[in-house]
Amino acid sequence: MDGLHVAFVGRLGQDAERRFTSSGAEVLQFSVLPADSKAGDSPEWVKCSVFVDKLEEHTPDKLTKGAEVYLEGRLKLGRWTGQDGAPRSGPNVNAWTVQPIGAIGRRAPQQISQVERRPVGAGARGRRAWPPEAGG
């Protein structure tokens, strides 16, 4: 692939917007504030777009304001005219990977049936004995 490739973590500034190309392909567009942005600096938002068919099934539903994501894609400099008529520019990423990461490890613990629960014997000084006692 040509161009500059980037990979970074950041938070979405708004819910992802669904758009369609002239050929009918579904695209999500959103802005991300990279995680390495420092307080006091003016934020450097990155405009991102990704084809929905490149995402896992439930990922589009998780791309909401404040969600933390990992992105990989091609970096380009976008240019546009601001509401005041002045020319503007900023980073754009055409992503091929977008993965929500804020909920990792936050699943409810799986329930263990009564049959699987077993008392664990204690070794010296209250530590677990290893290996576990047979039949315990």
Mind listing the pLDDT tens digit for each residue in 2-25? 779 999 999 999 999 999 999 999
Q: Could you give phi then psi for residue 48, rounded to 5 degrees?
A: -125, 150
- DSSP designation for 35: T
Give the closest residue to 100 by CA, choosing from 70, 60, 61: 70
* pLDDT given for residue 70 in this prediction: 94
Number of H helices, E strands in the chain: 1, 6
Q: Does residue 39 lie in a domain region?
A: yes
- State which amino acid sits at residue 28: L
Question: How high is the mean pLDDT of the chain?
Answer: 79
Distance between CA 102 and CA 99 in Å, rounded? 9
- Domain count for the chain: 1
Report yes or no: 29 and 48 within 8 Å, Cβ to Cβ: yes
What tokens appear for 14 in the block?
A: 């708004």
CATH of the domain at 69: 2.40.50.140
Report yes or no: 62 and 49 within 8 Å, Cβ to Cβ: no
Q: Does residue 97 lie in a domain region?
A: yes
